[in-house]
Chain A
Amino acid sequence: MEALKNLRICDFTGQLAGAGATRHLAAFGAEVIRIEDPVNEGRWDILRGNAPFVDDRRGIELGGAFNNHNVEKKAITLNLRTDEGKEILRSLVEKSDVVSENFSSGVMDRLGFGYEALKKLRQDIIYVSNSGFGASGPYQPYKTWGPIVQAVSGLTFSSGLPDQPSAGWGYSFMDHTGGYYMCISILAALIYRSSTGNGQWVDLACTEAAATLTGPSILDWSANKRPTRRDGEPNSNRNAWPKMAPHGIFPTNSLDTWISLACRNDDDWTQLRALIDDPAGFDSNYDTLEGRYAHQNSLEELVSSWTLVNSQTELASRLTSLGIPNAPVRDPQQRIDQDENTADWGLWPTVEHTQMGSVRVDGLPVHLSETDWNLERGAGCLGEHNDEVYGELLGFSSTKLKDLKSQGII
């Protein structure tokens, strides 16, 4: 059985923060109908038609990231600048459980499809808006994308090494995570509707979702008046909460090839100490966690001088055999093509895209014993499901479909 087979979503999302939310619901069987503008060929979503590409072909249907984020969705086109287009959208909303979008805050209102308008079309509609700063407050009109959300929320600051600018996140961590919060918003609102019959508007602000992820730092300031912005901080390869030492990312004998390792306690350290076997480098301070933590600089030098003369593979295998937490800093090829753990999980399923052919995509990191996810179909091409959605769902005749196409409405 498909977990969400009775769920229909009228989906305006795009990019990763929005499209990346509804893809997971589609993977669990929800009917996600993604609406795109026929006039500019859906280019509001800048990933449509953009790299990476499977081969030398280029074009609006061939964007690799777009395919990844829109698997299993139905793609329809609809020109909302026209009255008839708006009327068709009204019919679609009446048949949908959820309307989802991640435009800048206020865009849906200007289109005439804010929550109050949607509610008139369907009393129990669930409307989930996902924006950078939310639908209220002084920064409501401000524009964001992942890195801006991460900057303003404290996440960028929390990632880095001392005496360096912030390293931040080398990708839109908060587009993925904002998508997860959007998914949670939709599912929780559905559960509430199922028990009360009531729909609602969920106003999700990605910057706030991000700011919940630094809680102990906020409490340390609130309770102890200790700001994170202080000398020597942050050093996010170390770990103060709880204290561990050594705890970091160390170089190996090959260029730009690294291993992470940590000693959680004295047992881990005793094992590591035996493995390093460098009595001249040991200091009695290292015998206790407090001592190791206080002398991390010299301790890290000792560990580095050992990791530097060993291979990443050899280090990982020896550390693992002794039960010491470690992992190579895996590059994409290592973790996608050479990691038995992700292969065993089925983490990189292949989908069929009408024009791109067979392409591998991100799978889901959960398995449900009775109603698991399934990804087979790639993203829809522009209007690929027009006939199905307008014909079968809304019952338009083939003549009407032809007319709408010739008028540029779909």
Chain B
Amino acid sequence: MNDTASVGPLEGIKVLEYTGEIAPWAGKILAELGAEVIRLEPLDGSHTRWYEPFLADTPHPEKSLFFWHYNLRKRSLALDINSESGKKIFLKLISDVDVLLEDQTPGHMLELGLDYPQLAAVNSDLIHAAVTPFGQNGPRSKDPAIDLTILAGAGPAWSCGYDDHKLPPVRGGGGQGYHTASHWAVIGILTAIIARKELGKGQYIDVNAHAASNVSTEAASYSWLVAEQTVQRQTGRHAGVRPSSPTQVKAADGRWINSGVPARQGKDFQKTYDWLAEAGLLEEFPEAPLLQLGATRDGFLNLGAISSGEDPEGAEIFAAGRAAMVLLIESLSAYEYFTGAQQRGFQCGIIYSPEEVVQDVHFIDRGFPLEIHHPELNQSFIYPGVPYKFLGSPCEIKRRPPLLGEHTVEVLREIGYTPENIEVFQSENILG
């Protein structure tokens, strides 16, 4: 590999992916880490090739931007797995790969005659990861579920929404219930690859999407587990057992800032005062002397003493710090405030929309936006890039997502079928 691109830390690991919509994200991550991922599709293609949005809003199985995102760097093998020959090919593939990643309804692999015991008989080293909404054997394992119902039923939605509880709880956007399950699938698979060395064989991994979101809700879970306390949702900030102050403020340009925590120690009050002066806002801020008073305080203000009334002067100083922060945000553009505050050591964030992230100077500097060329369209598009820099084994593969069945013949040749074998399969209409 001396004169070609570095593939990534999982170079040499082969994955067969037989997924619908829950776990292709796990396959995408494995491919991004350098694994060779073959996505098995039915002859007419994965139904996710028909998911919006489409390039130029033209529905077409090769133009789904959704499919593109989830299948970057994978190869596509189109096969009728319900046919006898299709099953034989599947088993031959299984004998060649390290990992099977699937998200079929519990029982489906058994119906096909391709459940784990039968696959392990062909390849004892196989790691079979099955991602489902509720796990393989649980009491609700066959209930219908989608990203929305996972995030609602497993906790996240309870904590997300607005101070006004007449508005419904909110499901966070972007398919995060499926993503969380997929992240766990990857953790399970990589753990099993490491264990295989000593164990001398592969194993079966049951990944439960509902459980994955259940253990990814931070204080909502442990406040109940530890103290039987219940958090309540609040606008744009942590759901809490007790209400907290708002943190989202609209800047002068109409975009929003997550303001983080206001000044609490002497030097921060001084910095806030100086910033008001620089921005020409001192005259609009009659509480400015309180900031100067705050600057003379040693250490951090004790928020406990402030809320209990023991430190009334501290309370006024703290309130002035918060008011100064709001005035600065409302007087500056969101970007000016974000960078100005961070440069002064205040933790805060600009609330970017997704497309603004890949246009931001920092992410461009790090090479995060990834330009991928689609030769048959003669166009290039910006994808989100790789979130970790493996400095000793970077992922430099830029293969665009596969066309339907693009690699069918190539993969069959790799696992030992002759052109004559393949012609026979083609005459049986089991390849695409």
Contact = CB atoms under 8 A, between A and B. Distances in A.
B351 A151 contact: yes
Contact of A249 (B168, B174, B214, B248): B168
A379 interface: no
A327 interface: yes
A165 B168 contact: no
Interface string A202-236: 11110111011111111111111011110000101
A335 B170 CA distance: 17
Contacts of A6: 198
Contact of A64 (B57, B162, B187, B222): B222
Given A168-B236, A177-B183, A368 B203 contact: yes
9 contacts: A3-B191, A51-B241, A134-B366, A151-B258, A170-B231, A187-B187, A221-B358, A227-B355, A359-B225
B235 A185 contact: no
A370 B70 CA distance: 30
A364 B183 CA distance: 12
Interface in B340-396: 342, 345, 347-358, 361-363, 365-366, 368, 379, 381-393
B145 A327 contact: yes
Interface in A349-393: 359-371
Given A151-B351, A211-B358, A52 B149 contact: no
Contacts of B355: 154, 217-218, 220-222, 227-229
A148 B259 CA distance: 9
Given A166-B248, A180-B183, A219-B381, A329 B351 contact: no
A256 to B, nearest CB: 5
Contact of A215 (B161, B212, B379, B384): B384
B158 interface: yes
Given A154-B354, A188-B190, A333-B230, 15 more contacts: A143-B345, A156-B349, A167-B160, A171-B219, A181-B388, A187-B193, A188-B33, A200-B390, A208-B387, A214-B354, A219-B381, A223-B53, A341-B139, A344-B138, A366-B188
Contact of B197 (A52, A194, A217): A194
Contacts of A143: 342, 345, 347
B204 interface: yes
A336 B221 contact: yes
Interface string B281-319: 000000000000000000000000000000000000000
A90 interface: no
Interface centre among A168, A244, A362 (most CB of B within 10 A): A168
A178 B379 CA distance: 33
B277 to A, nearest CB: 23
Contacts of B238: 147, 170-172
A340 interface: yes
A201 B392 CA distance: 7
B55 A336 contact: no
Interface residues of A, number: 158
Contacts of A409: none
Contacts of A229: 353, 355-356
Interface centre among B139, B143, B225 (most CB of A within 10 A): B225
B125 to A, nearest CB: 12
Given A53-B226, A167-B235, A224-B53, A172 B218 contact: yes
Interface stretch (B7-15, B323-331, B421-429): B7-15
A164 B13 CA distance: 46
B230 A331 contact: yes
A59 interface: no
A332 interface: yes
A335 B214 contact: yes
B23 interface: no
Interface stretch (B61-69, B81-89, B266-274): B61-69
A260 B171 contact: yes
B387 A181 contact: yes
B348 A148 contact: yes
B183 A347 contact: no
Nearest to A21: B187
Interface stretch (A72-80, A279-287, A318-326): A318-326
A333 B227 CA distance: 11
Contacts of B144: 320, 323-326
Contacts of A360: 225-226
A89 interface: no
A171 B352 contact: no
Contacts of A204: 387-389
B170 A161 contact: yes
A198 B193 CA distance: 17
B351 A348 contact: no
Given A167-B170, A171-B238, A223 B55 contact: yes
Contact of A341 (B160, B210, B382): B210
B174 A370 contact: no
A214 B174 contact: yes
A211 B155 contact: no
Interface centre among B188, B209, B222, B382 (most CB of A within 10 A): B222
Contact of B154 (A156, A221, A258, A335): A335
